[in-house]
Amino acid sequence: MHEELKEKITINRLSDKVDDLLIIFEEMKSQNDTLRQEVITLKAQNETKNIQIDKLEDSLINKDIESDDIFSKIEEVLKK
């Protein structure tokens, strides 16, 4: 009888620990899903920023070319 009681107590403890682990697992799974969504959002934001940077770089290159053209024209006028 004493052994049966110890066995039941042990089984109950193990069952409680398994339940605790399942709760932790579900919490971690939920947190993982949240983090996955954050990563997706951040990647999209990063792509948007990269596109903006590319446009700004192109614009800067064009402005440099325009400036060079203007300076060339000014030099031509000054040489005359």
pLDDT tens per residue, the chain (80 residues)?
A: 789 989 999 999 999 999 999 999 999 999 999 999 999 999 999 999 999 999 999 999 999 999 989 999 898 888 87
- Two tokens, residue 37: 């969504």
Model pLDDT, residue 1: 74
- The position carrying tokens 């031509």 is 76
Burial-class residue 47 by CB neighbours within 10 Å (0-12, 13-18, 19+). exposed
pLDDT of residue 32: 99
- 80 secondary structure, DSSP code: -
pTM assigned to the model? 0.64
- What pLDDT score was predicted for residue 36? 99
Give residue 10's pLDDT.
94
| CA distance linking residue 21 with residue 23, whole number of Å | 5
E strand or H helix at 47, and its extent? helix 2-79
